[in-house]
Amino acid sequence: MTQPGPAHHVFRYGSGDFADTVIARASGSYVYDRDGRAILDFTSGQMSSILGHSHPEIVAAAREAVGRLDHVHSSFLTDDVLAFSEALAAIVPDPLTKVLPLSTGGESNEAALRMAKTVTGGFEIVAFDRAWHGVTGGAASATYSGGRRGHGPGLPGALVLPTPDPYRSPFVTDGHHDWRAELDFGFDLIDRQSVGQLAAVIAEPVLSSGGIVELPEGYLAALQAKCRERGMLLILDEAQTGMGRTGTLFACERDGVVPDILNLSKTLGAGLPLSASITSAEIEEACVERGYLFYTTHAADPVPAAVGRKVVEIVVRDRLHERARELGAYMKDRLRDLQQRHECIGDVRGRGLLLGVELVEDRQSKRPARELGLAVAQRSLELGASLNISRRQVANIFRIAPPLTVTRDEIDTAIAILDQAITECVARGPAT
């Protein structure tokens, strides 16, 4: 049945109906509905608006750029694209110097997967079994946390690694997570399934749609070693972890790992459609020699490039990665205080301002409390805070990702709303 009301003519592109709330405007950490009601946006839009909404410098950059040069043929370069690429290359780790500007995260992942296949000559792509990399072709084939059914087979060569989730992994014994054994086990299965055409591993340093699962410290380096042993490239999808959200400019910096290809999106445009695949001159040269093609209508568009350059400037200038580290630690402590008061909070996890709260029926069985999660999310919205439940499969896990410009008072307000929502929903019982 078509959703009634204002969404009558909008195709439902997600897993269910749209929220009843219609957003009319936004500013800072808040969005406002048609009636002017303020709602704390603790998902940064679609996990993207790291500078808050309608940041004055971003607004000015976009207005100036669209008034000067809105679009050109993809064979041309512009000053905005050159400046954006230079600014981005200056902050990513060496030897990543070649920037392919695109529009969305899925698009950048498609570009990176094609690079890996072109350079290695293989076609097999490994991803985590709770990964989300996009809904197009190759990205969809490497996505396992949703969207796999109802539209036929994905691309051949899609292989999976077990997600190293210390809260639920079968490789946890007496509180110790043996992620190295889990990684060895996963690659043993991959080697058995492979037809000898391994091309790449694509991974998020923190699996977001999969439930805010942070890769253990040391895991990325061990994963990269597994890739090197097999002649594979390592692609890191930092759509949600890049540009300072986890407390460093890029999440891979904590582990001292430089991937073969680094993908940025979401946070790179601070809410506007901008992404980039960034690789080394060596890989770029090999791609060009072998006829690499990724020619899209909006590759290297000037307006998003102008915005992206300004985003880089603001994040670096205002040291927002340090702010994310400090405020993230504060918010995590506040969430752990809630965990002490609410038996239904099984786990609090994440890094910087990308945090997860998992609700369970009880801490012994760890059975996911999905109905409670949906109820708490709805009640939180009614009380004035948007706290994300991504899909039904992980409806017991909140993804909390406010802008990096959030204040302590706003964090305190969101925590108080979550506290009240949990208290009320638990009191109502299973019928909620």
Has 366 been annotated as catalytic?
Answer: no
CB 47 within 8 A of CB 401: yes
The single residue of 130, 254, 266, 334 carrying the catalytic annotation is: 266
Residue 289 CA to residue 331 CA, distance in Å, equals: 49
Q: Which of 41, 110, 182, 237 is catalytic?
A: 237
386: burial class by Cβ within 10 Å (0-12, 13-18, 19+)?
Answer: buried
Q: Which of 240, 325, 347, 349 is catalytic?
A: 240
CA nearest to 399, candidates 409, 387, 391: 387
Residue type at 165? Answer: D
Name the CA dihedral angle for 312, 315, 317, 321, rounded to a multiple of 10 degrees.
-140
Q: How far, in Å, are 37, 95, 353 from residue 24 at the CA level?
A: 10, 43, 26
Alpha helices in 200-267 (DSSP H): 219-230
Q: Enumerate residues 6+ apart whose C-beta is below 8 A from 118.
A: 286, 287, 290, 291, 292
Token digits of residue 95: 């030897």
Q: Of 309, 323, 399, 410, which one is the catalytic site residue?
A: 399
Distance from C-alpha of 395 to C-alpha of 346, rounded to nearest angstrom:
14
Closest Cα partner for 100 from 120, 121, 118?
118
Does 204 participate in catalysis according to the annotation?
yes
Active site residue 57: no
Q: Which of 110, 165, 182, 204 is catalytic?
A: 204
- 237 as an active site residue: the answer is yes
Query: For this structure, is 117 an active site residue?
Result: no
What interhelical angle do 320-341 and 302-317 show, nearest 10?
70
If residue 388 lies in a helix (H) or strand (E), which one and from where to where?
Answer: strand 388-389
Q: Report phi then psi at 162, rounded to 5.
A: -65, 135
Beta-carbon-side half-sphere exposure of residue 96 (alpha carbons within 13 Å): 26
Distance between CA atoms of residues 422 and 428, nearest Å:
10
Beta bridge partner(s), residue 31: 26, 39
Please pick, among 124, 132, 179, 351, the residue that the annotation labels catalytic. Answer: 132
Q: Calculate the CA dihedral of residues 382, 209, 103, 317 and round it to 10 degrees.
A: 80
Q: Where are the alpha helices (DSSP H) in 296-357?
A: 302-317, 320-341
Ramachandran sector of residue 160 (left: φ over 0; alpha: ψ -120 to 50; beta: rest): beta
Give catalytic status of residue 240 as yes or no. yes
**Which residues does the annotation mark as catalytic?**
132, 204, 237, 240, 266, 399
